[in-house]
Amino acid sequence: MSDRRRLRFNGRVAHDSLRGQVKAARFSPGDPCITAAPRATLFASAEGGARDRELVLGEGFTVLDWRGPMAFGFAARDGHVGWVEAAALWPDAPVPTHRVRARHSYAKAEPELKTRDEVLWLSHGARVTVTATRGTWASIATLGEDGPRPLWLPLAHLAPVESTEAGPVEVAALFLGTPYLWGGNSSFGIDCSGLIQAACLASGMACPGDSDQQEAELGQALPEGTPPQRGDLLFWAGHVALVVDDETLIHANAHHMAVVYEVITAAIARIAAQGDGPVTAHKRL
pLDDT in tens, the chain (285 residues): 579 999 999 999 999 999 999 999 999 999 999 999 999 999 999 998 889 999 999 999 999 999 999 999 999 999 999 999 999 999 999 999 999 999 999 999 999 999 998 889 999 999 999 999 999 999 999 998 888 899 999 999 999 999 999 999 999 999 999 999 999 999 999 999 999 999 999 999 999 999 999 999 999 999 999 999 999 999 999 999 999 999 999 999 999 999 999 999 999 999 999 999 999 999 999
From CA 201, how far away is CA 220, in angstroms rounded?
Answer: 18
Domains 13-91 and 168-284 share a fold: no
Domain 168-284 = CATH 3.40.50.720? no
Burial 253-273 (b: 16+ CB within 10 A, else e): beeeebbbebebeebbeebee
Give the pairing of strands 60-67 and 51-56: unpaired
- DSSP lists the bridge partners of residue 82 as 73
* Residue 121 near residue 38 (C-beta atoms within 8 A): yes
What's the confidence (pLDDT) of residue 85? 97
From CA 125, how far away is CA 61, in angstroms rounded?
Answer: 15
Q: Is 12 in a helix, a strand, or coil?
A: coil
What's the confidence (pLDDT) of residue 118? 86
* Residue 198 near residue 178 (C-beta atoms within 8 A): no
What's the confidence (pLDDT) of residue 145? 84
All residues at 6 or more sequence positions from 266 whose CB lies less than 8 Å from its CB, including other chains: none
CATH number for the region 13-91 comes to 2.30.30.40
Residue extents of the structural domains in the chain: 13-91, 98-160, 168-284
Tell me the longest C-alpha to C-alpha distance in the chain: 59
pTM score > 0.85 for this model? Answer: yes
What's the confidence (pLDDT) of residue 1? 59
* Residue 243 near residue 167 (C-beta atoms within 8 A): no
98-160, which class in CATH? mainly beta
